[in-house]
Amino acid sequence: MKRKFFLRLLDLDLYLSMLALAALIAITFLGVFMRYLFNAPFVWLDEMQMTCIIWVTCFGAAAAFRHGGHIAIDMLVDLLPPGPRKAINALVFAVVLFMLGFLAWNSWGLVRQQLVNRRVSDVMRVPRAWIYAPMPLAAVSMLLGFGLSPFRRRLEPAEASGKGE
């Protein structure tokens, strides 16, 4: 039961991305409808669309990263014998973990700066920290998903067989 909950928790970014995409499509359609049929455009539409795009991009990238949906060019690595292949994979693993940690740390710095300075959006007056919050959250999600990927392979067969609950 704990494993199933943990694996579902990792998919939270996928659900947030889908929700933000649905909101983006709905408000864009509604904005076009209001502008061209009633000649009454929403003044907040651009800010809301920007917010939704940030949320879709960050959380969607985290979900794609965890599920192996990003491009990986590993043809040359696959041609190597097992020893050098393991060494290169370990090096890539370490570099990716470092870069995700760097992204998480610096994006948290951006959000923290928005909080400290009490920055709000121009039209909606929403705290900018809420707009940029998906950046560090997605980076941490990618960090956890990628960092735990060797262990996740060990969890999934137990789930498939129904054991481990």
**CB 44, CB 124: distance < 8 Å:** yes
Stronger pLDDT, 94 or 6, i.e. the higher one: 94
pLDDT, tens digit, 9 for 90 and up, residues 12-71: 889 999 999 999 999 999 999 999 999 999 999 999 999 999 999 999 999 888 887 777
Q: Is the pTM of this model over 0.85?
A: no
Nearest Cα to Cα of residue 13 among 105, 119, 143? 143
Give the DSSP letter string of 129-151. Answer: HHHHTHHHHHHHHHHHHHHTHHH
Give the 3-state secondary structure percentages of the chain, helix then strand then coil, rounded to 5: 80, 0, 20
| Total domains in the fold of the chain | 1
- 65-97 pLDDT, tens per residue? 888 777 777 888 888 899 998 999 889 889 989
- Pair 58, 16: CB distance under 8 Å: no
- Domain with 104 in it: 2-161
Asked if the model's pLDDT at residue 119 lies above 80, the reply is yes
